[in-house]
A = this chain, B = another copy of it.
Amino acid sequence: MNNENRKISEGTISRTFAYLRELSKLAKLNIRTISSSELGERLNLSDSQVRRDLRCFGNFGTSGSGYDIKELEKELKGILGKDKTWNVVVVGVGHLGSALLAYSTFKKIGLEIVAAVDKDIKKSGKEIKGVPVYSSQELPSIIKNKNISIGIIVVPVDNAQDVADELVKCGIKCIMNFAPLSLNVSNNVKVKNVDLCRELETLSYFLANK
């Protein structure tokens, strides 16, 4: 029914997670249906965009009345993989890495940080916020034994590419990278870059150019 041939854009995917969040809120309020324009309004998006995004995943709407909230919520959960839990490893337990270990929201949304590793042997063997910290050498066995499918790189920029290579070698297909560089990985590996400095710098550009 849904068109599996066309590639679904990252924008669409990202927004669809936002739709799902909103739908879950509405479902709790026992609201039955919502129109694309109402849903869009709540997220600062156009009605066209909402319909077009949702249409990528199936035929969920009803002319005249809109979308059934409970039904759409259920469908999207399945499609987006939110009916499962994914295990995550954090590589690098500096300030930012530790903060991620403590970030309980990840768990709530089905992404569980089950292990962390650090080069510094003084850090390994301990637990931080209930997450066990291991030495770097143990990375391959941890990924295998704990069934980990996502790696978060929070190491200094000079080590990031090596860590990425290691993760890929261990079979990781999804990487979230906080180091400020463009990682080279084979194109069956999905990388999401979060470059905090770059984001903040971009803001400062607007200040400098008022």
**Chain A residues proximal to chain B, CB less than 8 Å:** 10, 13-14, 17-18, 21, 43-44, 79-82, 84, 86, 88, 95-96, 98-100, 102-103, 105-106, 109-111, 149-150, 152, 173-176, 180, 182, 184, 190, 192, 194, 196-210
Contacts and interface: CB of A to CB of B under 8 A. Distances in A.
A194 B197 contact: no
Nearest to A10: B202
Give the 9 A-B residue pairs with the shortest CB-CB distance, closest first. Answer: A81-B208, A99-B99, A95-B102, A174-B203, A95-B99, A44-B182, A190-B206, A96-B99, A17-B201
A201 B95 contact: no
Of the candidates A152, A180, A192, A206, the one having the most CB atoms from chain B within 10 angstroms of its own CB is A206
A204 B86 contact: yes
A24 to B, nearest CB: 12
A192 B199 contact: yes
Contact of A13 (B98, B105, B173, B205): B205
